[in-house]
Structure 1
């Protein structure tokens, strides 16, 4: 296994990790920003106010994008297993 192949596998792993994390992280970012904006407009300074809507939105994002996430991970794993003979020999 050459160093180029190792770097390529690492790059693919980081890319798939970023793709899989994006829906939940962007949802949490958007909901957190909206709650913070609401809190600043209404001058409510409660730290726990953003937790429940953010948790619900992240759960909904996982519910809606979970099938796609699983399909992407299965595709990546299948491709990785198919490359094992070429990586070893």
Structure 2
């Protein structure tokens, strides 16, 4: 039987893992965007591609470098959810 505590724990774990994965992908992109915006402010270059392209490349690089960890973390979460669902049925 699914108790409220078990449901809360499961949802909290899922939200934590989702936040962790988002931080791994977004925080480096935010830091790169900050560095590019400081460079643009210092040189007064207002080119839209200069602000977009580095963030895109940083995000793609993080997907390449952290992709296996992201997939492993998500698969562990799904295995945990399905094991819990299996124990609730029978």
Match of 1:28 in 2: 29
Q: Which runs of 5+ in 1 are unaligned?
A: none
Aligned positions, number:
89
Match of 2:6 in 1: 5
Superposed CA deviations along residues 3-52 of structure 1, whole A, max 9, x for unmatched, are 21221111011011012112211111111001011011111223342111
TM-score, L = length of structure 2? 0.88
1:75 and 2:76 equivalent? yes
TM-score, L = length of structure 1? 0.89
Match of 1:47 in 2: 48
Q: Which runs of 5+ in 2 are unaligned?
A: none
Q: Deviation of residue 88 (structure 1)?
A: 4.2
2-side partners of 1:25 and 1:34: how far apart? 14
SS of match in other structure, 1:45? coil
